[in-house]
């Protein structure tokens, strides 16, 4: 069984989502009367219900007197050639085996008298390319219908099977685009092989669609986005609204229903193979493929070094391409395995322990101690509270002397102090993997000998995460609303043009047909995230689209989401309502006071010059293709000068932290300098001599400065115009400096890189620094601050309409503050936001909700980053306007 979560989701030229799991046969679908009344019945503890049951599949066991099962050929055969050929395979004493989710496999010898399933599966797995270190952990065989093959008799009858590694979850093979299969009354059609996408018909009914909409329609809120480009957690590109449906009989029914020369030669070989297999498309790294092509064409040096700094995962593929062309077995390189993380062992053990408990419940229920039964206090789960329980057992079972010797005194005291904190095990396991051994021994001591676990030497990392998604289309959308997969090469709908979402014209766009679903995998069969599964919802061109997302996890969905800080701990949840139902989600999962973050106060720094980064533009000359005009807008409350450095080095003063800049090439483009008077909303533009206009009057003739030349890029190598991470050389630096006699006048420096787009160059800002009173600050954007900071009302403020200077005591602060649309606190939705969470810099809370957050949760409600501090920003409303003048000439 695959667990899941459920949510509703709508789009007004927007969208609606429901999260569930695994499909259910039509005979067991919900009836409307049950849906309408079940909410009045009490819910049984999930772990005491059928929903908590785990369908276990035993690993294959060793056979006796086994023969060799080597395949006669190394050439892979597509499964389509052997489908429905069981009798032929039986007559030829053969079976056809594939890896999990694959469409190609090999023939292996197998007679009716053979019984060695494990030995056959091991040979097949290795010959098909599985890692030997993972094969030794155990294997399973599954039929093409996704059912376990447990006996030789079953394989004799099936003759076609998939080999699954011990840690893998069944993945449906796509076979080919357009392939149709019937699965428990549902018609499933393959729409794309990479990413793997299916459409499903017959999974749910109109009555169920109506029930989903009715339960969620009044709770829809705007869908957040976890992106640095999304101010305050929201982005204009995402126009959908979402509502998560609470745990109920209805959602539980859906849970069960959905469940250089050498370098160049090496890279050229790799690029040939990569293009033939759509490598960069599959890994969502198309731009890196273009970058390699471009640098190979330029004959650039050390391409591999730069590539592997950012994309180290490509190294084994590069080496494999070289080995294929050399074709010398002795030159095949085996990459050393990374040491298995204690976190990997921990997550894998919980999965094993859950299955072990269920296996014994099904076979020897009397042998399972009550404490490790699904309702018991020591039942293994992915919940955060289970980590706390294990840590307390470690402290009970091991002496301070032993733990201090193993971990050091500082870590021992940290473990004791944080035994009730969130993710305490996950924090210590990466540095001290032996802590997993301590936890395992402590738990096994209480569970009994039937739960002794043999720790594998090598594991492929696994963590709780979304494994697959089932999207339900609940209504007919007149136009638009397709689900688009930009990395798929298949096409169902062409010629789509949707404003604001260019991706809708690329890749596979699945139309939203009522009572159908899209099913696709978010991970590979090895439990790695599949970048090619990137998808989005095209805006409805007409009408409203209602849909429901069923997120299928590789673990229990409630437990898995809790690991990521996204859900409540059903075992130890403590809600902080404080009379505020909207605050209930912020639960103190450990039921003890958490470390309260410091509330930071702001200090004001007057910055007299500011370049507006969004206005930076680079425009190619119409007459000289290698020359570019630079332009931007800026504010200056004092007279200033602007300096432009093309390809320059930054040097930092060790004592003051101030920066100075020198050109990398003194004989090329000089420093460009221009003076400006004080003024807001000014423009700077490199126009060149060709655009010089004659002054219109005598005053202009006296004040107009000689126009600065265009940026001439022809004298520079392309790699000098692109910033290299970790270096102090920048392609472009713009300095705005207050005109002053000071040695270090106040200034703002903007560091930029150039970006090649086709044959033209564009500009991208990297960072900004300001120098004020000898102190250097790097500017960091606060997401959600623009126009959203609430001004604090002052006693005695005048009523502008009447001129009355008396305070109206009948008005609340909320009445006196006009909150702009979208500027409300994301928790209470009634007070203006004024508090920023650090270090993620999301300004999303009002002061009251921020105070509650300090005492109830340790993560940001938008991105789930751990809270280190809270920064409150308030603008005091002034009674009179004053102009403050500072002398900057001292």
Residues 34-54 have pLDDT tens digits of: 333 344 456 677 777 766 677
**Closest among 657, 628, 658, 625 to 644, alpha carbons compared:** 628
List of E strands, 540-678: 540-542, 545-553, 598-600, 609-611, 617-620, 627-636, 640-652, 659-663, 672-676
pLDDT score of 798: 33
**Residue 717: pLDDT band by 50, 70, 90 thresholds?**
very high
pLDDT score of 197: 92
Do 291 and 360 belong together in one domain? no
In a domain, 582, yes or no: no
Secondary structure element (H or E) that encloses residue 131, with its range = none
Query: Quick count: other Cβ atoms within 10 Å of Cβ 887?
Result: 6
The 10s digit of each residue's pLDDT in 155-188 is: 998 999 999 999 898 899 999 999 998 877 789 9
Buried-exposed string 205-230: b where 16+ CB fall within 10 A, e elsewhere: eeebbebbbebbeeebeebbbeeeeb
Do 244 and 266 belong together in one domain? no
pLDDT score of 695: 46
pLDDT score of 619: 92
**Closest among 584, 730, 724 to 647, alpha carbons compared:** 730
pLDDT over threshold 50, residue 629: yes
**Residue 257: pLDDT band by 50, 70, 90 thresholds?**
low
The 10s digit of each residue's pLDDT in 358-400 is: 999 989 999 999 889 988 888 999 988 899 899 999 999 999 9
Do 247 and 268 belong together in one domain? no
605, 779 Cβ separation under 8 angstroms: no
pLDDT score of 609: 93
What is the domain extent for residue 324? 261-329
**869 strand-pairing partners:** 598, 838
- Give dist(CA 660, CA 647) in Å, integer: 14
pLDDT over threshold 60, residue 120: yes
**Closest among 111, 108, 74, 61 to 91, alpha carbons compared:** 111
Domain boundary among 778, 794, 827: 778
pLDDT over threshold 60, residue 585: no
Q: Which residues contact 79 (CB under 8 A, 6 or more apart)?
A: 96, 98, 103, 104, 105, 144, 160, 173, 175
In a domain, 462, yes or no: no
Do 807 and 886 belong together in one domain? yes
Furthest C-alpha separation in the chain: 107
Do 396 and 433 belong together in one domain? yes
Overall number of domains in the chain: 6
The 10s digit of each residue's pLDDT in 186-241 is: 899 999 998 899 998 988 889 888 888 887 767 666 666 555 665 666 556 555 66
Mean pLDDT for the stretch of residues 337-364: 89
Do 416 and 380 belong together in one domain? yes
How far, CA to CA in Å, does 12 sit from each of 171, 206, 210, 540, 558?
Answer: 34, 21, 17, 7, 29
Q: In the Cβ-directed half-sphere of 493, how many Cα atoms lie within 13 Å?
A: 20
pLDDT score of 774: 77
- Based on its alpha-carbon atoms, the radius of gyration of the chain, rounded to whole angstroms, reads 32
Do 412 and 303 belong together in one domain? no
Supply the CATH number for residue 788's domain.
3.30.40.10
How far is C-alpha 413 from the geometric centre of its chain's CA atoms? Answer: 33
- Give dist(CA 192, CA 281) in Å, integer: 13
- State phi, psi for 731 to the nearest 5 degrees: -60, -35
Mean pLDDT for the stretch of residues 463-481: 88
Secondary structure element (H or E) that encloses residue 255, with its range = helix 249-258
pLDDT over threshold 90, residue 478: no
The 10s digit of each residue's pLDDT in 407-434 is: 999 999 999 999 888 889 999 999 999 9
pLDDT score of 637: 92
Do 692 and 810 belong together in one domain? no
Domain boundary among 763, 778, 793: 778
146, 1 Cβ separation under 8 angstroms: no
Do 796 and 876 belong together in one domain? yes
In a domain, 583, yes or no: no
In a domain, 70, yes or no: no
pLDDT score of 220: 64
- Give dist(CA 521, CA 525) in Å, integer: 9
**Closest among 292, 284, 124 to 195, alpha carbons compared:** 284
pLDDT score of 118: 95
Query: Quick count: other Cβ atoms within 10 Å of Cβ 744?
Result: 18
**Residue 32: pLDDT band by 50, 70, 90 thresholds?**
very low
Least confidently predicted of 236-250, 286-300, 541-555: 236-250
* Token pair in block for residue 549: 């997302």
Mean pLDDT for the stretch of residues 781-809: 45
Query: Quick count: other Cβ atoms within 10 Å of Cβ 63?
Result: 15
In the block, which residue shows the tokens 């939705």? 829
- Helices of type H across 479-621: 557-563
Mean pLDDT for the stretch of residues 817-841: 75
SS (H, E, C) 776-788: EEECCCCECCCCC
Q: What share of the chain is helix, strand, coil (3-state, %, to 5)?
A: 30, 25, 45
Mean pLDDT for the stretch of residues 50-72: 83
pLDDT over threshold 50, residue 694: no
pLDDT over threshold 80, residue 515: yes
- Give dist(CA 445, CA 442) in Å, integer: 5
Mean pLDDT for the stretch of residues 756-774: 89
**Closest among 223, 180, 178, 186 to 203, alpha carbons compared:** 186
Order of strands, sheet of 180-183, starting from the edge strand that comes earlier in the sequence: 180-183, 186-192, 197-201, 516-521, 466-473, 545-553, 4-11, 240-244, 221-222
In a domain, 578, yes or no: no
Domain boundary among 299, 329, 359: 329
Mean pLDDT for the stretch of residues 23-34: 32
**845 strand-pairing partners:** 835
pLDDT over threshold 80, residue 865: no
| Model confidence pTM above 0.75 | no
pLDDT over threshold 90, residue 267: no
- End-to-end CA, the chain: 74
Mean pLDDT score of the chain, rounded to an integer? 78
In a domain, 479, yes or no: yes
In a domain, 337, yes or no: no
List of E strands, 442-553: 466-473, 479-480, 483-485, 508-510, 516-521, 536-537, 540-542, 545-553
Do 191 and 312 belong together in one domain? no
Do 762 and 616 belong together in one domain? yes
pLDDT score of 878: 47
762, 820 Cβ separation under 8 angstroms: no
**632 strand-pairing partners:** 684
Mean pLDDT for the stretch of residues 258-262: 52
- State phi, psi for 119 to the nearest 5 degrees: -65, -40
Do 794 and 887 belong together in one domain? yes
3-state secondary structure of 379: coil
Q: Which residues contact 693 (CB under 8 A, 6 or more apart)?
A: none
pLDDT score of 305: 75
Q: In the Cβ-directed half-sphere of 334, how many Cα atoms lie within 13 Å?
A: 7
Least confidently predicted of 418-427, 711-720, 836-845: 836-845
- Give dist(CA 710, CA 627) in Å, integer: 6
Q: Which residues contact 485 (CB under 8 A, 6 or more apart)?
A: 192, 195, 197, 507, 508, 509, 510, 520, 532, 533, 534, 535
In a domain, 877, yes or no: yes
pLDDT over threshold 90, residue 329: no
Long-range contacts of 296-305 (CB under 8 A, 24+ apart): 296/264, 296/267, 296/268, 296/271, 298/718, 299/264, 300/719, 301/260, 301/263, 302/260, 302/263, 303/260, 303/263, 303/264, 303/267, 304/263, 304/266, 304/267
How far, CA to CA in Å, does 443 sit from each of 344, 347, 366, 439, 450?
Answer: 17, 14, 19, 6, 12
Least confidently predicted of 238-252, 546-560, 767-781, 790-804: 790-804
């Amino acid at each position: 069984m695959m667990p899941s979560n459920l949510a509703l989701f709508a789009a007004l030229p927007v969208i609606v989502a429901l999260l569930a799991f695994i499909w259910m046969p039509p005979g067991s679908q919900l009836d409307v009367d049950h849906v309408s009344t079940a909410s009045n019945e009490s819910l049984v503890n999930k772990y005491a219900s059928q929903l908590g049951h785990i369908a276990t599949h035993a690993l294959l066991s060793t056979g006796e007197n086994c023969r060799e099962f080597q395949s006669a050929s190394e050439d892979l055969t597509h499964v389509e050639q052997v489908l429905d050929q069981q009798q032929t395979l039986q007559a030829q004493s053969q079976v056809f085996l594939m890896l999990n989710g694959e469409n190609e496999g090999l023939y292996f010898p197998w007679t009716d008298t053979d019984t060695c399933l494990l030995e056959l599966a091991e040979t097949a797995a290795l010959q098909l390319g599985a890692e030997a270190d993972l094969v030794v952990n155990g294997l399973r065989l599954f039929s093409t219908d996704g059912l376990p093959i447990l006996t030789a008799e079953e394989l004799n009858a099936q003759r076609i099977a998939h080999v699954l590694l011990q840690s893998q979850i069944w993945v449906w093979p796509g076979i080919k685009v357009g392939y149709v299969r019937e699965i428990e009354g549902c018609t499933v059609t393959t729409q794309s092989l990479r990413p793997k996408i299916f459409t499903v018909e017959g999974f749910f009914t109109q009555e169920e669609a109506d029930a989903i909409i009715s339960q969620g329609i009044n709770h829809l809120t705007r869908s957040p986005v976890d992106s640095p480009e999304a101010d305050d957690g929201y982005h204009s590109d995402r126009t959908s609204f979402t509502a998560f449906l609470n745990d109920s009989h209805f959602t539980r029914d859906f849970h069960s229903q959905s469940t250089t020369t050498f370098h160049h030669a090496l890279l050229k070989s790799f690029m040939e193979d990569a293009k033939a297999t759509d490598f960069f498309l599959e890994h969502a790294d198309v731009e890196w493929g273009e970058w390699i092509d471009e640098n190979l064409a330029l004959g650039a040096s050390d391409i591999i070094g730069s590539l592997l700094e950012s994309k180290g995962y490509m190294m084994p593929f590069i080496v494999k391409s070289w080995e294929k062309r050399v074709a010398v077995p002795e030159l095949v390189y085996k990459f050393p395995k990374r040491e298995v993380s204690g976190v990997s062992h921990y997550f894998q053990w919980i999965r094993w322990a859950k299955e072990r408990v269920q296996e014994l419940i099904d076979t020897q229920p009397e042998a399972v101690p009550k404490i490790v039964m699904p309702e018991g206090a020591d039942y293994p789960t992915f919940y955060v509270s289970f980590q706390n329980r294990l840590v307390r057992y470690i402290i009970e079972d091991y002496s301070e002397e032993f733990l201090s010797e193993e971990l050091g005194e500082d870590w021992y005291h940290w473990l004791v102090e944080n035994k009730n904190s969130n993710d305490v095990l996950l924090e210590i396991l990466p540095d001290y993997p032996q802590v997993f051994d301590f936890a395992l021994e402590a738990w096994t001591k209480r569970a009994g000998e039937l739960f002794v676990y043999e720790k594998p030497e090598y594991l492929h990392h696994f963590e709780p995460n979304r494994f697959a998604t089932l999207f339900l289309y609940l209504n007919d959308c007149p136009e638009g609303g397709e689900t688009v997969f930009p990395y798929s090469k298949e096409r169902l709908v062409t010629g789509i043009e949707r404003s604001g979402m260019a991706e809708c014209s690329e890749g596979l766009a699945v139309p939203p047909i009522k009572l159908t679903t899209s099913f696709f995998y978010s991970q590979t069969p090895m439990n790695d995230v599949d970048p090619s599964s990137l998808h989005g919802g095209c805006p409805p061109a007409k009408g409203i689209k209602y849909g429901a997302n069923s997120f299928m996890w590789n673990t229990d969905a409630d437990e898995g989401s809790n690991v990521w800080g996204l859900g409540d701990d059903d075992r130890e949840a403590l809600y902080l309502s404080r009379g505020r139902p909207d605050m209930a989600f912020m639960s103190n999962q450990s039921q003890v006071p958490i470390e309260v973050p410091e509330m930071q106060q702001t200090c004001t720094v007057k910055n007299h010059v500011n370049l507006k980064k969004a206005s930076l533009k680079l425009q190619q000359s119409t007459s000289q293709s290698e020359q570019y005009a630079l332009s931007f807008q800026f504010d200056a409350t004092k007279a200033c000068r602007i300096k432009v450095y093309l390809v320059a080095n930054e040097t930092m003063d060790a004592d003051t932290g101030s920066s100075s800049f020198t050109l990398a090439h003194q004989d090329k483009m000089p420093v460009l300098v221009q003076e400006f008077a004080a003024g807001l909303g000014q423009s700077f533009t490199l126009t060149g001599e060709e655009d010089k206009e004659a002054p219109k009057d005598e005053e202009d003739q006296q004040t107009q400065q000689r126009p600065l030349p265009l940026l001439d890029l022809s004298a520079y190598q392309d790699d000098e115009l692109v910033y290299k991470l970790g270096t102090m050389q920048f392609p472009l630096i713009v300095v705005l400096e207050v005109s002053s006699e000071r040695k270090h006048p106040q200034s703002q420096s903007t560091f930029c890189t150039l970006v090649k787009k086709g044959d033209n160059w564009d500009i991208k800002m990297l960072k900004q620094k300001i120098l004020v009173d000898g102190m250097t600050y790097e500017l960091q954007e606060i997401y959600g601050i623009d126009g959203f900071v609430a001004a604090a009302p002052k006693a005695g403020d005048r009523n502008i309409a009447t001129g009355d200077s008396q305070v109206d005591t009948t008005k609340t602060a909320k009445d006196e503050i006009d909150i702009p649309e979208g500027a409300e606190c994301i928790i209470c939705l009634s007070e203006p936001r004024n508090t920023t969470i650090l270090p993620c810099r999301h300004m999303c809370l009002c002061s009251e909700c921020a105070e509650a957050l300090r005492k109830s949760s340790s993560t940001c409600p938008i991105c789930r980053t751990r809270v280190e501090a809270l920064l409150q920003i308030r603008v005091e409303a002034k009674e009179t306007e004053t102009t403050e003048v500072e002398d900057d000439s001292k």
